[in-house]
Amino acid sequence: MDKLIIRGGNRLSGTIPISGAKNAALTLIPCALLTDEPVTLRNLPRLADIDGFQHLMNQFGVNTAIQGTRPEDFGRTMRLEGTRITSTVAPYDLVRKMRASILVLGPMLARSGEATVSMPGGCAIGNRPIDLHLKALEAFGAEIELTQGYVKAIAPDGGLPGGDFDFPVVSVGATENALMAAVLANGTSRLTGAAREPEIVDLCNLLTAMGAEIEGIGTSDVTVHGVKRLNGATYKVMPDRIEAGSYACAAAITGGEVRLEGANAADMISTLSALRNIGLEIKEDAKGVNVAANGPLKPVDLTTAPFPGLATDMQAQLMSLLCKAEGTSVLKETIFENRFMHVPELTRMGADISTQGRTAVVKGPAQLTGAEVMATDLRASMSLIIAALAAEGETQVRRIYHLDRGYERLEEKLQLVGADIERVDD
């Protein structure tokens, strides 16, 4: 298994190209199940999760072809053609590695009248139920059975009627599943309390390009008028706001200055506002975002929340950055329980962090030193890399398969701006 070796202390400076968004890609790919025409997705990141999802689509009989497979290509294009669905089952072996596989449930049910999906695994960040995915589909008229670790959803003869669902908790995945099911329903569906993350807007934009009728895109009150059939489309995946935010923290902790080429500031509103409060200079334009650390880092109090609030996927990276701020910061995690698994590892690197329930208190500035650390989930892994970039000496990060699930060519991008980082065979 590979590990990353980082020698801290280099000031990052230069331009980092931002990839297509993993979390958008993972909901755009299953849209190919909704039509017998080809769906072509551009700007897909080169990531293990995307490859995993491609295999899952092949399992259903969807043919896939990829362009841009040369090592020097950033952004690949995938053509997906589901002329005929040959299986409606997502098996355990494929689903266990990737929680997002549950996102095939809605579109498969809408297209084929039934879908069977193994219960998902994925990042170990707390107990991540799928009850809302199932309740929304039930509200649209599906019958749900749970047997032997599988969820089976069945539509009435003649297809899903559609219906109304009010989300008691904002859920990105459940909103996506519900939208993909509702677009082919016989009637109109209304979702209230829906998630409105930029990735949901990206999904709605693709569905609209395919002929779906959706009102209230980007709001928490969305109405979908079901249509008889959808056509194919060609669509460019949005830039990855979490990747961009992560590199902003990486540059900031080294006192550096980077341009995040291709990042969309409007999608990063809370992260950029947090970074400004920490004392960074942020400049936005139509093609990217510039981040510069020109003075001491200031402590801040941050609370994660559904969009437009601060993304939970940025919490760990911001925590690393705040280890270097001059004073005490408080971070509250409201989305997932058990999402402080990076704290013990950061502490081993010299951070002064205490947690109580869902609150972490970070005392800075800490003198960080290199250590052997272990990545526990995707964003936690990135927080260790950020800390390592500012630490004295060498840090070894193991279990980096988590990183390969979410950061396209991480070490190459960091090398581009002057980081001393290499991947070695363990």
Binding footprint of ligand UD1 on the chain (CB under 6 A): 23, 26, 100, 128-133, 169, 171-174, 195, 311-313, 335-336
Q: How far is the CB of 255 from ligand UD1 (least distance, A)?
A: 29
Q: How far is the CB of 78 from ligand UD1 (least distance, A)?
A: 17
Nearest residue (CB) to ligand UD1, 195 versus 233? 195
**What SS3 class is residue 420?**
strand
Q: How many CB atoms lie within 10 A of CB 401?
A: 14
Phi and psi angles of residue 70, each rounded to the nearest 5 degrees, phi first? -70, 150
Q: How far is the CB of 122 from ligand UD1 (least distance, A)?
A: 8
Nearest residue (CB) to ligand UD1, 182 versus 311? 311
Please give the residue whose beta carbon sits closest to ligand UD1 in the complex: 173
Q: How far is the CB of 194 from ligand UD1 (least distance, A)?
A: 11
Integer Cα distance of 247 and 154 in angstroms: 43
Active site residue 123: yes
Nearest residue (CB) to ligand UD1, 211 versus 401? 401
Contact (CB, 8 A) for 421 and 414: yes
Q: How far is the CB of 135 from ligand UD1 (least distance, A)?
A: 8
Reference 28, options 41, 37, 19, 18; nearest CA is: 41
Phi and psi angles of residue 239, each rounded to the nearest 5 degrees, phi first? -70, 155
Q: Are strands 76-81 and 39-44 parallel, antiparallel or unpaired?
A: antiparallel
Q: Which of 123, 204, 249, 323 is catalytic?
A: 123
Which ranges of 86-234 would DSSP assign to H, the alpha helix? 92-95, 105-112, 131-139, 172-182, 198-209
Q: How far is the CB of 49 from ligand UD1 (least distance, A)?
A: 8
Contact (CB, 8 A) for 289 and 263: yes
Reference 363, options 315, 316, 331, 338; nearest CA is: 331
For the purposes of burial, counting CB atoms within 10 Å of the CB of 327, is it exposed (0-12), middle (13-18) or buried (19 or more)?
Answer: middle
For the purposes of burial, counting CB atoms within 10 Å of the CB of 370, is it exposed (0-12), middle (13-18) or buried (19 or more)?
Answer: buried
Q: How far is the CB of 237 from ligand UD1 (least distance, A)?
A: 13
What residues contact 285, with CB distance under 8 A and at least 6 apart?
none
Integer Cα distance of 408 and 324 in angstroms: 26
Nearest residue (CB) to ligand UD1, 311 versus 322? 311
Nearest residue (CB) to ligand UD1, 110 versus 178? 178
Nearest residue (CB) to ligand UD1, 26 versus 62? 26
Helix (H) or strand (E) holding 167: none
Nearest residue (CB) to ligand UD1, 166 versus 426? 166
Nearest residue (CB) to ligand UD1, 349 versus 360? 360
As given in the structure block, the two tokens for residue 267 are 């999608």
Q: How far is the CB of 42 from ligand UD1 (least distance, A)?
A: 19
> DSSP characters for 64-102?
EEEE--STT--SEEEEEE-SS----EE-HHHHTT-GGGG
Integer Cα distance of 417 and 256 in angstroms: 9
Positions annotated as catalytic residues are 123
